[in-house]
Every structure is written in C-alpha cells, then in structure tokens.
Structure 1
C-alpha cells in the first residue's frame, strides 16, 4: 500500500482543482480520490459486463455535454453552441438507430464499450469529434436549409 500512496496523493492533488469533488468530499467524508475511483470502477463494470450499460452510457453521453452546452449558452459562445448542437444531433441519431436495432445489438458483446469510446471521441477536447462532424456535415446541409428557408418565406408572403 505504501507504494501506491504517492500516486494516490498525486491524483488527490489533481482532483483538488474540481470544486464539485471537494464539496462531495466535505459532505460525505469520503476522500475524493476514493470516490472518483469508485465511480470509475462502477462505470467500467456496468459497461463491460452489460449491467445497466444502456443507462450508464446515456448518462455519460448527457451529463457533461449538457453542462458544457449550458456553459456555452451562458457565455453566449455561439461557435461552441453550434458544436454542442451537432454533438446532441449525433447522439440523438445514434440513440434512434440503437432503438431500431436493439435485437441485433444484443449479439455484439462490447457494443456499449464502443459507444462510450465514440461518445468520448465526440466531446473530449483532445478529439472533439463533434466539431469534425459539424465541419463535415454542415456544408452539405446548408443548401437544403437555405432552400427550406426560402420556401418558408415564400409561403408567408402568400
């Protein structure tokens, strides 16, 4: 245990930057390092062993991105809001497709692991796959939206 202690201390120092974890530690008396490791372990077990994996992946896909989208809205950062809208659009498409092929997905044992990796790829700042999707898809959809907008304006005039 003494060999692990320096790593736990380093991890605790890193986690000290997060106010929410400090509040949880203060309220429960459980060190933030142990709390974080327990959440990570439970999440991993849930996803890898398919125990409430659908719920777990959807929570991972919604909680942090929703916070970041609200933050972008509060700061009136329209560029970030566009990317977060694309993120939620992509997650919505994945969830709709998932509903349609649930029976088929039951035959893929690590589907939820792949989904978690995809979700992280979409929203983690290192990759920000949602921005890549936004930059690739939006130019393709722009003519459609402009045409629909023109038709709508024409309908209002009539």
Structure 2
C-alpha cells in the first residue's frame, strides 16, 4: 500500500502544475489525483469500447499538431517547421487512405484506439514517427510519381476552372430568370 501512496503523491505533485485540477478538488472535495485517474479510466474505457473515439482521435490528430504548427511558424528556428510539415503530409496521406477503406475499417476491432496510438506516435517529437514514415516510404513514392501527380493536379485545375465557369454562367442565367419573373409579378 505504501507503493500506491507514493505513486499517488508523485501524481499529485505533477498535477500541481495544472490549476484546473486544484479548482476541481476545491469544488468537489475529491483529491485531484483520484479525479485525474478517474478521467484516465473513463478515457481508457471509451477508447477500448469505441465510444466517441473517432472524434477523439480526429481531435488529437488535429488540435495538438495545429497548435504546435502555429508555434513552429512563430519561432525563428526552422527545424520544428519541417517536423510539423512532415506530420501534415503523413496526416493528409493517412486521411486520404482512410477515406477509401472506411467501410473495411468499421470491421476492425479497436481501430480507433490503434489510430489514436498511431497519430500520437506520428506527432510526438520524441518518436518522430511522421518523419520516419516520410523518409522510409512516402518520400520515394512521391518523388517517383511527382510528374504524374503534377499532371493530375493540372488536369484537375483545368476541370475545376471549366466547372467554375459553367457554374457562374448557370447562376447568372438563373438570377436573370428570377429577376425577370419578379419584375413580371410586379407588373400584374
């Protein structure tokens, strides 16, 4: 039991850095280390049983890296810029892949728990998982297919421009027809 008490004291000392836990302790009367452990258990159960984990993994995969990217942009040191740019390339690639195999992923048990672990591994500066994936797999794939990707993007841009022009023309025609109809109603 002494080991548990010592660990709880360590947790309490670490939680002293976060005023929100002190506020919760003051309002509820529950020790902040117990509140934190309770939150960890609830989060763990949610991850294991998949309740809201899709949203949680998306938030974790986006919010922390977005904030760190903002911080990287605002510093003069450019090493962290590269880390977060590589992360976003991996995140985008992963998101696109996930879109195409979404129906299959539904049947994989604990998929979102694995996704959350993957995203944490990819984003953590200690592991540099995104950089590892980029250097090991993605960089060569992108470099080898760069001309094909550029051609596909140019073609998409051309089609998007044509569609935009058609949409603008159709919108103009509808607006003209509506305006004529409104003017016709006023004359009657």
Q: TM-score, normalised by structure 2?
A: 0.62
1:4-153 equivalent positions in 2, closer than 5 A: 4-16=4-16, 18=17, 22-28=18-24, 29=26, 31-136=31-136, 137-138=138-139, 141=142, 144=146
Spell out, residue by residue over 1:83-129, the C-alpha distance to the aligned partner (whole angstroms, 9 max, x if none).
11221221222223223222211111121122122112112233111
> CA 1:51/1:8 → structure 2, altered by over 3 Å: closer, same or farther?
same
Distance (Å, rounded) in 1 between the aligned partners of 2:123 and 2:95: 16
Partner of 1:156: none
Report the Cα offset of residue 23 of structure 1. Answer: 2.3
Distance (Å, rounded) in 2 between the aligned partners of 1:70 and 1:126: 19
Distance (Å, rounded) in 1 between the aligned partners of 2:63 and 2:33: 20
Distance (Å, rounded) in 1 between the aligned partners of 2:89 and 2:31: 37
Distance (Å, rounded) in 2 between the aligned partners of 1:110 and 1:44: 12
Report the Cα offset of residue 26 of structure 1. Answer: 3.8
Report the Cα offset of residue 140 of structure 1. Answer: 5.8
Spell out, residue by residue over 1:30-75, the C-alpha distance to the aligned partner (whole angstroms, 9 max, x if none).
6543343233223222221011110011122123222222222222
Contact 2:50 2:113 in 1 (8 A): no
Which stretch shifts more, 112-121 or 135-144?
A: 135-144
Structure 1 vs Structure 2 CA RMSD? 2.8
> CA 1:41/1:96 → structure 2, altered by over 3 Å: closer, same or farther?
farther
Aligned residue pair count: 143
Q: Quick check: which has more Rg, 1 or 2?
A: 2
Contact 1:43 1:56 in 2 (8 A): no
Distance (Å, rounded) in 2 between the aligned partners of 1:101 and 1:140: 20
Q: TM-score, normalised by structure 1?
A: 0.72
Q: Which runs of 5+ in 1 are unaligned?
A: 149-158
Q: Which runs of 5+ in 2 are unaligned?
A: 151-188
